[in-house]
Structures are given as C-alpha cells and as structure tokens.
Amino acid sequence: MKFCKRWQTAAWLGFALLLLGCDSSRPKPVPVISASDQTANPASTTPSSLGGDALAADSPSTADPQSVTPPQSDTASAAPQRAPDEIDLSQRPFMTLQPITSSSPEELIAHLRQIDSALQDLVLAGSHDFLDEQTFKQSGLRLGRMKQAAGLQLAQSSESSESESKAGVIAQLVALSHMSGLGDVPAAQELERFAGEMSMSADADLAHQAQVVMIGFELQSLQNGLRPTPETLLSQVDKLFARPEDRGFPEFMVLQQAQQVLHQMGFGDAADQVKKTVIEAYRTSPDPQLRGEAWLIETSESQAYQNFLQAFRGLGSESFDSAAALVALRGLYEEFPSLQTLEQIASTIANIEYSGQVALSQDVAKFTQQTMADYSGQEVAGVKNALDAHAARTALLGHELPLVGLIGFDGQPLLWDDYQGKVVLVDFWASWCVKCMRELPGIRQSYTEYADRGFDVLSVNMDENLASGRTFVEQQNFPWRSFHSDDPQMLGFKSPLAQQLGVNAIPFMLLVGRDGRVADLHVRGDQLETAIAKLLEATP
C-alpha cells in the first residue's frame, strides 16, 4: 500500500525522535565542500557547519573534550563489508528481541531501552544493505508495535511513578511515529489522534512533544491543499519555544522542513519568518552543532559565504590560492562579525593545517586569536581549545618530539633512543579510521624502499578499544613496531600524549629527521616518499 503523503513529515520527524531521543539536540552539519581528508576526534568544543563535513571535519563535535567514541561510519567501513547473503542476521537484536511479560515499571523501562537499541541496530544494518527492504520494514514494524505496547503498559500501570508514566506516553508517540515512517497508515492515523490528545495535556513536556509532531501534520495539510494559507502553521511555530529547554534537535528539524516546504510552495514571506525564528532561537544555543547550523542558515545565501566556499574549494590542490583564501575568510567575518562566525572560522584551522597549508593555518589562527579579544573568556572557550591544539601541533616543527607514555603491542615500552639517527615517520592511526587505512599502502611502500637506508616507522594506535587495535596490528603483520598509551584508562584521544601534542584528528603523520627534530607535518600520499628521500639525503 502506498504511504499516504499526509503523514510523511510527521512520521519522518518521529523517526528522528526515535533514533535520537526526544531531548536530543545534535544534527549533522550540512555538507558543502570537500577540502581535507582526515577523521576527527568525535569530541569537540567548536561547531562544524562552516564548509560542512569536509572542511570542518577536524573539529570535535561535543562539548566534552574527554568523550571519545569512534564514528560508527568509519568503524563499519574500516573492515571489508560482506554481501548481504553472507551475513547471518538471525541473531541480531532486531530479529531476536521478544515482547516483555513483566509488568514491573523498572523492567518495562529496561525493555524500552532494549527496543531502542534493537531499532538502532536495524537502522545500522539497513544502512549497509545487509538486509532487504521487506525485512527492514517488517522488523521495524514489529519493534514499533512492541514499543507501543510496552509504552502503553508503562503509562497505565498503577505501579508507575509520574515520570515513568510520562516516559510510557512518549514511548507510544515515538513508536507510532516510527511505524508511520515505515508506511503503516493506521499507525499514522493513530499518531495524529494521539498527538492531538497529548497537545492538550497539562504536562508541559508531553504537550510540547505533541506540538512538534502536530506541526508536521499541519505542514502536510498545507502541502495537500487542505489549508489555503500558512497562517495556522505560523501560529503553531510562534508557540513552539515557550520554554528555553524546547530549543532542541527535533524542533530544529521540523522548522527547517517547514521553511523548505514554504519556500517551495511560494510562501516566501512565511518561509522568511520561519527562517528568522530558527536563527533567533538557535543563534546562541548551548549546543555547538545547533548554533552552527543556525549560523549556516543565516549566512549561506550571502556573497561573503559564497566567496569563502569558492576560495577554499581547491584546498589541498596545487592550484589553491592561500592569499585569496585568507582574504575571503576575513571578508566572511567582516560581513558577519559575531562569536558564531569566529567559532566557525576556528573550526577550519585544523582542516587547513591537515591539508598541508600549515602557514595559512597559522595566519588564520593569528586572526582568530586577535579577534577573540572582542569576547569574554567563557564565550570563546571552544575557540581557545581549537587554537591551543593547533599551537601544540605546529610548535613541534623544528623541535624534538616528546614521545612518552607509550608501550608496544609486544609489551615492551618505547625506547626513543632506538630510533636516533634515523628518519622516522610517526603515524597516529586507529583501526576504525578509513582515511588512515588509505595511507597504509604508501607507508608500506616507503618502508620497503628506504628501510635499509635508515628509514623507520613508529605507529601510534588511537583505538579506545585496545583489543581492536591489537587485532588489526596482528592481522596486518607490520614490519615496524606499533605502540599505544601505557595507561589503559587513557587510550586514544584521551591519552596524555595525544592531549600534549594536540592530536584531535587522524591520520596525524610527522616526519622526524636524523637529528631527532620534527621536519614535516601532514606529509601524506604521493608527497610522503619524496619527503623521506629528501631527509635521508640531508646531512645529520
């Protein structure tokens, strides 16, 4: 049965609520240009909307610099993927999870968490084409009905506390939204009824969650010609941010969708009104990703932003004009002189540096440092972190490398004296980092070519899961030694060495000359062999 268009927007929003949680607030940055090729430490203090995923990929993405989890996309991509018919799905959580028989509120809540985990597992499997569309839909609907039933039981149980009962109501809303998104028309009809009732609730949280979904329905009514004008929709939008805590990810998504639809339908003034609401609501959001997205909405149609994109489009290529890029970047700030613009500029520094344009990254850092004086210390904490990490990395040039706190996968500690007098490539990598894997053939080739002339490789593993790094090293059978942090509680980007050197993205590759001093940063790909040969020929 073809899914009725009337419920598509509300269902799509509900699916986002399902995956991210009703109080989640982290959208993905909008991809715009491709300028660098490194994988970020997922912990961050600066937003990354400027230039999208590629240009801002080196910027961490949460406010906690200690929270490091390898991206699922890179984890999945690092290992060769098998064809769907080679993978046994029968024991995956989305296939094996069964309805709960207990009526205990604690066990019902635990069961709801299991369902959410199984649904996320289902989405992950579907995103890699490990199962066909019919299996995906059937499994999703089965889990959705399971969640709706558990939520209903939790909401109606006499043993449930007020917060537990509320959790049950929200679980039903999310389950219905999810099933609607999978094409279940009766669920979509029930969702509209259920959300309408919830919108009248005396509980402000429940009423607000329903209000978000109802905006989606109102948007579809406008699209289907059931509303001649967007006045009702605009009225709902005006009431959306009654409380500061309501400025989250689901609200951002539905307003962004509303703006796009209104623009497509020719309601330009209404679209501009929603756009203004989004910018004002999220411009100073405590979530760096959300305020970055609001900044992008505000600036993306400007000539200054387009000039910036054009100037940086060739970053990493021989035709790149660093002087023009710096002018464009300064022009962007002159057009939009705000803390948000400064944050976005700070998020580009590492990517410019990693592309090999170290001198330009230092110029941008200097501009950012000078401009920081216009803001208070707390406001620019994220900017300062980005500058400090950049300064730590670039300060290595021409100096001895402080390699401490490392132990080999063979159980032996690093003795830096063993490498004295050699040209050494120090390579920070992780098993989940696809871009690190791309460098391996070139590193192997260089080692084979120059090892007998005084070249060596020192590999520093950045896996938080030490077993993953160990397994990969054993499988690859590297002819050089591989190390990791000697503190099992401080692995990967958390390690003292990574913090000291400012390593917040990988691959991070340094070349050390025979004199023990860092000669080059970010020498990768075709440039690596040439740089090694040059250092080997140099007089110690």
Q: Looking at the predicted structure, is the pLDDT value of residue 23 above 60?
A: no
**Mean pLDDT computed over 239-258:** 90
Of 352, 373, 394, at which residue does a domain stop? 394
| Residue 455 confidence (pLDDT) | 96
| Residue 120 confidence (pLDDT) | 84
Of 394, 418, 448, at which residue does a domain stop? 394
- 102 and 145, same domain (yes or no): yes
Q: Looking at the predicted structure, is the pLDDT value of residue 130 above 90?
A: no
Residue 401: inside a domain: no
- 127 and 253, same domain (yes or no): yes
| Residue 41 confidence (pLDDT) | 60
The number of domains in the chain is: 3
Please, are residues 453 and 525 in contact by the beta-carbon 8 Å criterion? Answer: no
Q: How does the average pLDDT of the chain come out, rounded?
A: 83
| Residue 482 confidence (pLDDT) | 96
Amino acid at 90: S
- 458 and 313, same domain (yes or no): no
CA atoms in the 13 A half-sphere facing the CB of 68? 24
Q: Looking at the predicted structure, is the pLDDT value of residue 66 above 50?
A: no
Residue 43: inside a domain: no
CA atoms in the 13 A half-sphere facing the CB of 106? 0
- 366 and 513, same domain (yes or no): no
Confidence band (pLDDT; 50, 70, 90) for 67?
very low
Q: Looking at the predicted structure, is the pLDDT value of residue 199 above 60?
A: yes
Strand, coil or helix: 247 = coil
Q: By residue range, what is the domain housing residue 264?
A: 5-26+82-299
Confidence band (pLDDT; 50, 70, 90) for 40?
low
Rounded distance, CA 475 to CA 48, Å?
A: 35
First to last CA, the chain: 75
| Residue 83 confidence (pLDDT) | 39
Residues 277-327 pLDDT 10s? 999 999 989 888 899 999 999 999 999 999 999 999 888 788 899 999 999
- 91 and 211, same domain (yes or no): yes
- 443 and 466, same domain (yes or no): yes
Residue 48: inside a domain: no
- 286 and 375, same domain (yes or no): no
Q: Looking at the predicted structure, is the pLDDT value of residue 33 above 50?
A: no
Residue 34: inside a domain: no
Residues 455-469 pLDDT 10s? 999 999 999 989 989
pTM equals 0.69
| Residue 22 confidence (pLDDT) | 35
Of 270, 299, 328, at which residue does a domain stop? 299
| Residue 161 confidence (pLDDT) | 95
| Residue 539 confidence (pLDDT) | 56
- 225 and 309, same domain (yes or no): no
Residues 360-377 pLDDT 10s? 999 999 999 999 998 887
Residues 135-180 pLDDT 10s? 999 999 999 999 999 999 999 999 999 999 999 999 999 899 889 8
Question: Got the DSSP string for 32-82?
Answer: -------EE-S--SS---TTHHHHTTTS--SS-TT-----HHHHHHHSPPP
- 209 and 86, same domain (yes or no): yes
- 387 and 428, same domain (yes or no): no
Strand, coil or helix: 107 = helix
Q: What is the CATH number of the domain that holds 513?
A: 3.40.30.10
Residue 508: inside a domain: yes
Rounded distance, CA 443 to CA 524, Å?
A: 9
Bigger pLDDT: 33 vs 378: 378
- For a pLDDT cut of 70, what percent of the chain falls above it? 83
Residue 144: inside a domain: yes
- For a pLDDT cut of 90, what percent of the chain falls above it? 61
- 310 and 294, same domain (yes or no): no
| Residue 288 confidence (pLDDT) | 86
Q: Looking at the predicted structure, is the pLDDT value of residue 124 above 90?
A: no
- 119 and 227, same domain (yes or no): yes
Residue 57: inside a domain: no
Residues 414-450 pLDDT 10s? 999 999 999 999 999 999 888 899 999 999 999 999 9
Residue 35: inside a domain: no
Confidence band (pLDDT; 50, 70, 90) for 525?
confident
Q: Looking at the predicted structure, is the pLDDT value of residue 75 above 70?
A: no
